[in-house]
Amino acid sequence: MHIVSRLAGSLLASASILAAPLVQAAPQPTFGSEVGNALLCLNQLNSKYFFDYLYEAFGPPYKTEGGAYWFKATNVSLWGMQVTDVLVNDGSSPADFIGAFFNTTPVKLVDAISGAVGIRFTPEDNTQYPMRQSQAGSKIVYNDVNAKMYCAKSKYLVPGTPAAQ
């Protein structure tokens, strides 16, 4: 009987240790809500935050080019469209931005976003390859036959910075 009570006590202690992390762990935000909302210009842009987020999701950037850190996205989709690369500005860029390349056309990406979240993108002109922009300022452009989407905010127009005063 003494062995049974010690075993029961050990099992209860083990169960509470195993249950503790489940109770304390907060759900991690999904890629779509973090990166997707930033691409739609619905979130604040913080290059340090997104660099850390992308580093954790994909590992180190595979290149630094054009004022951006480039991360290879594998098995990732937003709004049902395959993402191939995600970019975030480096310190040399005059803007905070996040961007993504998609393995689809801008027209199909616009349709997917509109169907999924109801945000519309308006063509800026009547050319064959117009830039499309949402009301929040997100842009979708052609990258050869595929789509590139980004949100950018000038670092120099932030209230409280010397340039804005």
Distance of CA 125 to the CA centre of its chain: 28
Domains held by the chain: number:
1
Determine what percent of the chain falls in helix, strand and coil, rounding each to the nearest 5: 40, 30, 35
- Find the DSSP H helices in the chain: 2-24, 31, 37-39, 47-58, 106-117
- Give domain status of residue 2, yes or no: no
- Mean pLDDT, rounded, of the chain: 82
Give the pLDDT band (50/70/90) at residue 150.
very high
Give the pLDDT band (50/70/90) at residue 13.
very low
Output DSSP code: residue 130: -
pTM summary value = 0.76
- Give domain status of residue 3, yes or no: no
- Give domain status of residue 82, yes or no: yes
Least confidently predicted of 12-21, 34-43, 98-107, 144-153:
12-21
- Give domain status of residue 150, yes or no: yes
- Give domain status of residue 18, yes or no: no
83 bridge partner residues: 76, 102
- Give domain status of residue 23, yes or no: no
In angstroms, the CA 148 to CA 117 distance is 18
pLDDT at 139 > cutoff 80: yes
Give yes or no for a contact between 84 and 103, defined as CB atoms under 8 angstroms apart: yes
Give the pLDDT band (50/70/90) at residue 74.
confident
Give the domain range for residue 93: 31-156
pLDDT at 6 > cutoff 90: no
- Give domain status of residue 84, yes or no: yes
Give the pLDDT band (50/70/90) at residue 158.
low
- Give domain status of residue 111, yes or no: yes
- pLDDT tens per residue, range 102-137: 999 999 999 999 999 999 999 999 999 999 999 999
